[in-house]
Structures are given as C-alpha cells and as structure tokens.
Amino acid sequence: MASLIGRYLRLQSLLIVVIAVVAIILAFPLLGLTITDVFSITTILIVVLALNFMAGYAGIPNFGMALFVYIGAFALAGVGTRIALALVEIASPGFIELMRSSYPVILGDSGSFEVFVRVAGDPMVNRIMSREVESVIEASPILSLTLTLAVFGFAMIAGALTGILASLAAVRLREDYLAIVLLAFSELMVSVVFDQTDALAGGPNGAWVVRPWLKINALEGLARLLGTIPDVLISLAVGLAVLAVCFIYVERIANSPMGRMLRAMRDDDLAIGVYGRDVAMTRLKIMAIGAAMASIAGAIHASVYILVKAADTYDRVTWTFIPWAMMILGGMANNWGAVLGGIAVYLGRKAIYYYSPTIASAISPILGIEASVAGDILRAQLPNILVGVLIILVLYLRPQGIIPEKPSRTLSKKDIEELT
Amino acid sequence: MVLPSPEFIIYSIAYGSSLALLCLGLTLTYMTTKVPNFAHGTLAIVGATVTLMLIDRVYYQFRGDPLYYSLYIAAPLIAFFVVGLVALTEYLLVLRPLVRKGIGIIGLMIAALAFDIILVNILTMTLHLAPSEYFGKLIGQSLKGFDARVSLADITTTFSRLAMPVVAVILTVTLHLFLTRTKFGIAMRASIENPSLARVLGIDVDRVYIVSWFLAGGLAGVAGSFLSFIIESVKPAAGSLVIVSIFAGSILGGLGSIYGALLGGFLVGFMEPMATIMLQNALSEFLGRTVIITQYQRLFSLLVVIVVLLLAPQGLTGLNYREVIGRVRRVVGVG
C-alpha cells in the first residue's frame, strides 16, 4: 500500500512537472521569449545538472565551471574547424589548394600546416574558410556525422581531462582550497591562456564555428514557423536529448549506493575515508564526469553562435555564478530543483532585462543622464546584482532551496525480502 | 642571465609590496571567519576607483601645484576608510548572518562570491554613470600618466612606486606594534588563535572580527590606491585576475599567519613580473628572435598555487625546516 502511494505521488509530481513545462513553453510567445531562449535554457540546465552532480551530491565546490563549458566551445571552434578542414581535404583532395588559389591575398603561399593553424587562429582566414568548409560538410551525411562524433568525443575527453587536471592539486585538501584552485585555474585558463593565444581559437578576436549539422530542407518550414533557422532546431534537439540523458544519468547515480556514498563524502569526508573509501579518487572521478557533461553543454551552446570568444562569451558570471544561483535557488542535491531553479532564474533575468528601459526612464531624471544610456547600463548590470542578492537571501531564508533534498530512494521492503 | 633594468626591479618591488598588503588582509579575514574572501581582489579595485575619482575631482584645480602631491596621502587615506567600510558591509550584512545561521563553508564561499559579483556590477554602474569633471567618462581610464616622475641618478621612476614599499613597511610595523603592544591587539591574537577560550576570558570576539574585517578592507584600499597608478586601466573586472595572485601569496604564506602572508605576498608579487621578464629574455636569446610572454604573467601565480598545494599545503610558515633540510641532504647525498 505504502509503495503504491509512493508510486502515485511520484507519478503526480511527474505530471506537475510535465504540465509546468508545457505551460512555460506555451507562455513563451506571451513573454516575448523565442526558440533561442528555449535553447539557452536547455544548455544552461545541462551545466546546472553537472554542477549539482559535483557540488550538490559530491560536495565539490566547483567555482570553475566556465572553463569546462569553454573547453566544449573550444572543441567546436578551435579543434572542430580543423578536423572539418581535414575531413574535407580527405573527401575531396585538393581542397586546400583550391582555397589557396581562390584567396591568394589572405592565404598566399601558406604551407598546409600553416593553413591548419590559421583556419581557426587567424580571424580573416577563419571567417572565409569556415563558411567554405561548412558548405561542404552540410551537404554530406557521412562528413557531418563524422565531424559531430569527433567534436563531441573531443569535448567529452578534453573536458574530463581538464576536470582532473584542474582539481589535482587540491583534491586531497579541504573544500576551500579546492574552491580556490578551481576558481584560479578556470579564470587564468579562460582569460589568459585561451584569450591571449591567437593560435588556439583566435584569441581575443574569437573564432567562427563550423556547424557540424547536415542541411535538412524539410526543417525549413518548421523553422520559419518558429522564427529561427534549421541549424538552431538541430542544436536544440541535440541539446534536449543530451539534457534528458544527463538528467537520467545523474538521477540514477544519486539513487544508487554510489549516490549515498557521495552524500556521505560531502557531509563528512573523514568518516567515509575511515570506512575505506578513497575520497581523493572519488572526487577526481566526479570532476571528470561533471566536467565532461559541462563540456558537451559548451559544445552544443557554441554550435548556434557565429563567433565564439573565450573571455567575452565564457565569463565566470554567466557560466559559473548563474548556474550556482540556479542550483541554490532550486535546492542542492535535487535534480528537479536544479531544473526548476534554472528556469526560474533564467526567466527572472529575462524579465529584468525586459523592464530595464522602464526603470531607467524613471530614474534617469534623478541622476541627470539620458534614459537610453541608463537603460543599457541597467540592462547589463542589474540582473547580475539581483542574482547576487538572491543567492544571499536564499542562503539566509531557505538554505535548502525551493525543493529540499530528499533521502535517496532505496529498494522497497518487499523487494529486499524477495532478495534475501 | 641578464638582470632586468633597475626601473623594472623598482616596479616589481612596488607590486610585491602592494600584494603583501592584500595577502595580509585576506589572511586576516581567513583566520577570523575561516572563509576565503573571493571579493578581496575587487576590494583593491574599489580603492583604485576611489583614487581615480579623487584625481578626476582635483586635477583641474591643482595641476602643477605642489599641493597636488598631498594626493599621495589623501587618496590612500580615503581609500582606507571607504574600502574598510565596504569590507565591513560584506562581513556584517552577508557573512555574519550566514555564519550565525550555521551555513556550511560552501554556502559561505558562494555568498562571498555573490558579494564580489554585486560589487563588480555596482562599480561598473558607478564608473559609467558618475559625473566626471576631468576625464569626461570614468570607465576604462588609465592613471599611469598622473603619477609624478622621479629621477635618481640615471634611473627614472615614479613617485608611487617609491612610496609603495615605504608605506607597506610603515603599515606592517604599525600593525605589529598594535598586535603585540596594545591590549586590543593581544585580545585580537587570542581570539584568532582560540575563539572559545578568548570568549571565556571576557574578550568581545565579535568586535575583534569586525575590526579585522575593517583592517583587511582598509589595507586592500591602500594597496589598490597605489596599484591604480601601475595597472593599465581602472576597470572593475581586473579584480578577478588580481585575486589569483592574492590567493597565491596567501597560500604560499600558509593562510594561517599574517607574517607568512606578508612574505608570501611580497615573494609572489616581486617574482611574478621578474620571473616573466627573465624567462622572456632567456627565451628571446635562445630562439634568436623577440618573444613576448608578458601577457601570460599571471600564470606564475597559478603555478605557485599548484606547486605549493602539491608539495607543502601548509605553506612557508607551516614547514618543518629541519625536516626539509634533512630530506634535501638525503636526496643530495651529503651527511
């Protein structure tokens, strides 16, 4: 009987979520939201889930999410463009030679190796070549699929390795050291190493992306109906699929013996160490998995962009701080909470963004500045300030978040009796 | 190995001195509240902003006037109080209520980060919106040209670079005397070392914490005020990179002793530009062409953090030197 009620309640909560999601999607046109917003929410929710996995369940204070998301974007903009060029050259030999004769001024007598460096490093070469390469890729299903697998495979592996590398120095130490190292590592890799080195992915000028998607004419009509382009729809579909997989994966781990071990490690790493668990090794594994998830989110996010810049696009406010705010608002160590918090913070920021000009026209006479100037500044700064205030208020008033953490699901008494 | 020019060495000493003050403040707050203050880098930028606004106000009237040099006293002094109050706000409005509610270390850290984001955005808004008399607009201005030039023999440097180490030494000696010779200073050390015992002895531990947060902010303000003449431009986002150097110096110092913080901060601040320029010279010589690596200078700080945490997480002051020397001897094979 109890399990029946439990199952009913679970079904009911699932129903509520489904209704909420449908309601939000229906409300989008009313709020002035577009398909791009749905896409942004999808990618950031993957990041929030990855963060919840690392910070909520395992207690790793990951203040360096931005780097892991950027690694995914780099997999597309820096590495993907070069893989794409190699694929095109293999499929139709002489492509680079053709490019060289088509654009003698910018490519001139560059050797083949130099072309590979410049195709993602030099803004001019990158801009022209990426369009040419993309037009070949999008026409061939085999090339498109190979490139997609290569980019996402690289994003996953590079993300996992970066996650391990970033936390290696402090994985045996207290959480505060771990937080400091992750913040420092992420900050310096994104805004010094990647942003200052042109050869990696264009440095401060950024790099144009070669979208790995196939050109599907059948999507044209649907895309026009939704006010977007087919490529964005494919990105959105991939994003939603990855989100679903990540959600099920994190949820299953959380409710497994491994999940209970992670919570125990978060609450008392010394005690779990005494019970014979290797805390450092577990943390490294969690860092690798979480960072790989964030990295895939970054690759999907970058696929709708035309130009990807390291420090400008992947700043710590958008990709570290706001996911933290979403997770804390929704409730740490609770995946439904993370999703709910993510949607709530995104819509809240959008609303502030929307009403900034109104607020600006009200306060600009007092400050003696033009309303349009004040509006631009408010629009850029006010959402961040309010998210900061929100975090502090949630921590003070409701530290457990909207949906508090629940005890992990175990086997029912009947199942255990059957097993024994 | 060619040594950098004397001007560059003076610059490195000045940068090291300001970083020593910043690390001192960070370590002081870490020892009292046990939270790494992620907003400390931005506190320094608040000090730089105060200096920028002050120069913006007085430059028209006092340009060329000897009275203009009183700015070198007025700006750090005002920055000390303004930034001290900002740090106090962080402690009283954000961290203390959360500590009293029993929020864990992760929650406190994200709250400090939240304060940092709020501060950066308020600063950006202020720099955009505040009326400016001299510059026209305050955002992104450089103060490099507003520093008085000083020539000693054939070395030309600026006044702030010479004043910074002197100010740092004066502040350190004052703080040392305050901590060892005054009743409140001794109470402060007691509450840092053992808060519950200090409370039993009738020391108002909370007041001690308030004073240490104010002091930490004030020192960050003084350091930021002098840094404003050194950094390329006064922009709020700069704090997010400065914080890495501050953490590097504090971790090198052990995060548990203010003298360690002074030493660690100075070493990191002095070595960061020096090591970069020396490596650059060596590389250029080796490759036979000019190589520029100064844009990667901050990586030195990250390297310090990683190496210290891997080899000696307790920092310089936590090391047992007898044991280290013994181990080195065994490795080298002497004795």
The pLDDT-based confidence of A30 (bands split at 50, 70, 90) is: low
**Which chain B residue is nearest to residue A317, measuring alpha carbons?**
B117
Q: Distance (Å, rounded) from C-alpha B315 to C-alpha B251?
A: 6
Angle at A240 between CA A234 and CA A243, to 5 degrees: 140
Given a cut of 70, is residue B276 above it in pLDDT? Answer: yes
Of A59, A384, A396, the CB nearest to B101: A396
- As a whole number, mean pLDDT of residues A174-182 equals 91
Chain-chain contact of B110 with A381 (C-beta, under 8 angstroms)? no
- B130 CA: distance to closest CA in chain A (Å): 9
The pLDDT-based confidence of B85 (bands split at 50, 70, 90) is: very high
- As a whole number, mean pLDDT of residues B217-230 equals 92
Q: What is the mean pLDDT of chain B?
A: 87
Q: pLDDT tens digits for A65-106?
A: 999 999 999 999 888 888 888 888 888 887 877 887 777 777
Structure tokens at A336: 């439904």
Q: Is the Cβ–Cβ distance between B262 and B176 less than 8 Å? A: no
Among A188, A189, A153, smallest CA distance to A76 is for: A153
Q: pLDDT tens digits for A200-230?
A: 887 788 888 888 888 887 788 887 877 788 8
- B38 CA: distance to closest CA in chain A (Å): 8
Q: Distance (Å, rounded) from C-alpha A354 to C-alpha A110?
A: 48
The pLDDT-based confidence of A152 (bands split at 50, 70, 90) is: very high
Among B22, B13, B267, smallest CA distance to B162 is for: B13
Angle at A158 between CA A155 and CA A160, to 5 degrees: 100
Amino acid at A254: A
- As a whole number, mean pLDDT of residues A359-379 equals 76
Chain-chain contact of A385 with B117 (C-beta, under 8 angstroms)? yes
- A407 CA: distance to closest CA in chain B (Å): 19
A100 CB neighbour count, 10 Å cutoff: 17
Lowest mean pLDDT among B138-152, B192-206, B214-228: B138-152
Structure tokens at A230: 């087919």
Given a cut of 70, is residue A25 above it in pLDDT? Answer: no
Which residues of A fall within a CB distance of 8 Å from B120? Answer: 384
Given a cut of 80, is residue A368 above it in pLDDT? Answer: no
Domain boundary assignment for chain A: 53-312
Which residues of B fall within a CB distance of 8 Å from A179? Answer: 36, 106, 109
Q: Which residue has the higher pLDDT, A254 or B66?
A: A254
Lowest mean pLDDT among A168-182, B26-40, B137-151, B256-270: B137-151
The pLDDT-based confidence of B281 (bands split at 50, 70, 90) is: confident
Among B202, B226, B222, smallest CA distance to B11 is for: B226
DSSP B267: H
pLDDT at position B173:
93
Between the CA of residue B245 and those of A125, A287, B40, B114, B267, what are the distances in Å?
A: 36, 24, 11, 20, 11
Q: Which residue has the higher pLDDT, A363 or B29?
A: B29
Lowest mean pLDDT among A234-238, B123-127, B232-236, B308-312: B232-236
- A280 burial (CB, 10 Å; 0-12 / 13-18 / 19+) is middle
pLDDT at position A419:
78
pLDDT at position A11:
64
Amino acid at B50: V
The pLDDT-based confidence of A156 (bands split at 50, 70, 90) is: very high
- As a whole number, mean pLDDT of residues B138-155 equals 78
Using H for helix, E for strand and C for coil, what is the string for B81-103? HHHHHHHHHHHHHHHHHHHHHCC
Q: Distance (Å, rounded) from C-alpha B315 to C-alpha B268?
A: 13
Q: Is the Cβ–Cβ distance between A333 and A406 less than 8 Å? A: no
Q: Distance (Å, rounded) from C-alpha A259 to C-alpha A408?
A: 8
Of B34, B110, B306, the CB nearest to A328: B110
Chain-chain contact of B107 with A367 (C-beta, under 8 angstroms)? no
Q: Distance (Å, rounded) from C-alpha B51 to C-alpha B229?
A: 9
Between the CA of residue B53 and those of A381, A384, B88, B116, B131, what are the distances in Å?
A: 20, 24, 22, 21, 10
Structure tokens at A69: 């998301």
Using only C-alpha atoms, chain B has a radius of gyration, in whole angstroms, of 21
A1 CB neighbour count, 10 Å cutoff: 5
Helix B71-89 and helix B205-227, axial crossing angle in degrees, nearest 10: 140
The pLDDT-based confidence of B134 (bands split at 50, 70, 90) is: confident
Q: Distance (Å, rounded) from C-alpha A112 to C-alpha A156?
A: 28
Chain-chain contact of B114 with A391 (C-beta, under 8 angstroms)? yes
Chain-chain contact of B36 with A61 (C-beta, under 8 angstroms)? no
Q: Does B187 touch chain A (CB under 8 A)?
A: no
- Work out the widest C-alpha separation in chain A, in whole angstroms: 78
**Which chain B residue is nearest to residue A374, measuring alpha carbons?**
B129
pLDDT at position B154:
79
Q: Which residue has the higher pLDDT, A156 or A360?
A: A156
Given a cut of 60, is residue A9 above it in pLDDT? Answer: no
The pLDDT-based confidence of A52 (bands split at 50, 70, 90) is: very high
